Amino acid sequence: MKISTSALLALTASISSASAYWKGFNIGANNPDGSCKSQSDWDKDFRTMQSLPGYFSSARLFASSDCNTLANAVPAAIATGTKLLVGVWTEDVNHYNAEKAALQAAVQQHGTGWIVSVSVGSEDLYRHNTDANTLASQINEVRNMLSSMGAGSVQVGHVDTWTAWVDPANTAAIQACDFVGMDGYPYYQNADINDAYNVFWKSVQDTKDVVNKVKPGTWVWITESGWPISGPTMGSAVASKSNAQQYWSQVACAAFAQAHTFWFDLQDYTSNPSFGVVDANFNPILNLAC
């Protein structure tokens, strides 16, 4: 289904009423060789983002305690003027407690000026690792922890696939969120690259419709999307540099202009499929100008 220009403009307005949007990349806690990132590694990532066309000054992190993510990333973020969408893993009690403790320590040491928002969990509902009520309790628990520290203005939400958000079983999670982070990949929907634009924006629209019905006014953020430069063919979806370029030019550039957007991802040249936009030398693989 092709979305008309008027419908797309309406969608733009409904995703967020802000005049400017966060835009950045997803960045994992490990280097491509599997080693944990040091503060200097995070500094390199953040400065690389800022050197790219469009100047990306925010990043989404998946963890808080793993590889001492926040202990190393926050000083680098402050030094480079980068803001972070913080991740808190939820899937194991001990891990979850360690994640909360790492976030608490970072806020106690550095305040909150470096925080974009906090995502409690990532694709937990899609993977059926938890249920919506349990996740909602964890979202509220992290929010209450931050409030008790004088950081009640920090938005707390959850990131999951668009298919999880439209599932009626997950409404409790939506109700607990200050924002809804949506992951959508036409590549994994086996879409031809020439259909990918409409497939993606339909997933955004479907998510928005459900979120606005459950909790009107809640913003939908684009927290993951991308097209692989290399990897297996998924139905009609072919991983290639040319297709990744087309998806960037058509979808990423549109998303950056109309929603808080965190692209997947900055660098992952050892992964299969590989979505990273910079190579082993931190040089752009694609033309990232919009």
Instruction: Please identify every residue annotated as catalytic.
Output: 123, 224
Q: How many angstroms from the chain centroid is the CA of residue 187? A: 17
Sequence-separated contacts (24+) of 134-137 with Cβ below 8 Å:
135/90, 135/172, 135/173, 135/176, 136/172, 136/173, 136/175, 136/176, 137/176
CB atoms within 10 A of CB 102: 21
**Distance (Å, whole) CA 30 – CA 158:** 22
Alpha helices in the chain (DSSP H): 5-15, 39-51, 69-80, 93-110, 132-148, 162-165, 171-176, 196-214, 241-247, 253-256
Q: Are 82 and 57 in contact (CB under 8 A)?
A: yes
Q: Which residues pair with 284 in a beta bridge?
A: 278
Collapsing DSSP states into helix, strand and coil, what is residue 29? coil
CB atoms within 10 A of CB 164: 22
In degrees and rounded to multiples of 5, residue 24 shows phi and psi of -170, -160
Rounded to 5°, angle at Cα 173 from 171 and 175: 70
Q: Residue 72: name the closest of 23, 29, 26, 122 by CA.
A: 29
